[in-house]
Amino acid sequence: MAKKIEEMGADSICIKDMAGLLTPYKAEELVKTLKSNTKLPIQLHTHYTSGVASMTYLKAVEAGVDVIDCAISPFALGTSQPATEVMVETFRGTPYDTGYDQTILADIADYFRPYREECIDSGLMSTKVLGVDIKTLLYQVPGGMLSNMVSQLKEQGAEDKYMDVLEEIPRVRQDCGEPPLVTPSSQIVGTQAIFNVLMGERYKMATGEFKDLLRGNYGQTVKPMNEEIIAKVIPGEPRSTARSAEATGHTEPELASIEAEMKEWKQQEEDVLSYALFPQVATDFFKYRQAQQTAVDVTKADTANKAYPV
């Protein structure tokens, strides 16, 4: 896969471990294998949910990874990343020394610490996500997926089935080719696991999204799907091996029309991508950027009288 990505013209490869499942020695093995097969820089992004992320980063760095994603300490750990300051100190005086000044990092942490407390007090950040949840390693379930699952079981009055569903999730994931448990596949797998448990029979009922996953409409999984499950859930139906957009017929290129739509704001190619992904947020940013560059804030303009306060 790394070779294919390199051949496509990518500038780097990021290992995205959204559930914190990557363990230290597996990270070492993965990074060494990638570095021996591609010349692209390798970045590693993991979360502290399972409690092993700092050790995973240590072994990955020793194996040659080029970039690790961290978070300043007030917003680190839990479902976030390892703390920047900890990793900086870990590599001090080694060939991997970052050169970062701990005094400056401490100032940054001090700046954000009151906001952390504000977020906790307001409920914007829950203390439930700040600790370690070993179930992440046992059942390969990210924190956000766990909370969704608990909510769904509560709605059905079946909270006593919690452990049964946890055990079913890895089985469902394996049946459908082990897709990454990130939106939307995490919700698809989780909901189907709940159905399997509550119905008392595996795949007695399947969601439309799970059927689409088996049909290949969400793209291809790295590992093969269970043919017996395919035959039970979508018997005799055609399956696609194309990319997801090609599989569903939505192949009309949109980039040119998007660029035309936002041409007044374009200053660089990245602006087009920002607008394509987040049109409203990007437009607000473009207006802010223009105000900084021209000293004219168009969001406060009196267009009727053509008055633009500076």
Among 77-81, 187-191, 276-280, 291-295, the least confident range: 291-295
Contact 10, 42 (CB under 8 A): no
pLDDT of residue 279: 92
The dotted CATH code for 2-127 is 3.20.20.70
Q: How far is CA 225 from the centre of its chain?
A: 23
pLDDT of residue 207: 94
Q: Is the pLDDT of residue 8 over 60?
A: yes
Q: Where are the domains of the chain?
A: 2-127, 140-248, 255-300
Q: What is the pLDDT of residues 221-230, one digit of tens each?
A: 889 999 999 9
Contact 53, 20 (CB under 8 A): yes
Q: Is the pLDDT of residue 247 over 80?
A: no
Among 25-39, 91-105, 182-196, 260-274, the least confident range: 182-196
pLDDT of residue 81: 94
pLDDT of residue 140: 76
- The band of 271, judged by pLDDT with boundaries at 50, 70 and 90, is very high
Architecture of the CATH domain 140-248: Orthogonal Bundle (1.10)
Q: What is the mean pLDDT of the chain?
A: 89
Q: What is the pLDDT of residues 186-208, one digit of tens each?
A: 889 999 999 999 999 999 999 99
CA 198 vs CA 29, 139, 225: distances in Å: 39, 19, 23
Q: At what angle do helices 143-155 and 185-199 cross, to 10 degrees?
A: 40
Q: How far is CA 49 from the centre of its chain?
A: 13
pLDDT of residue 148: 74
- The band of 310, judged by pLDDT with boundaries at 50, 70 and 90, is low
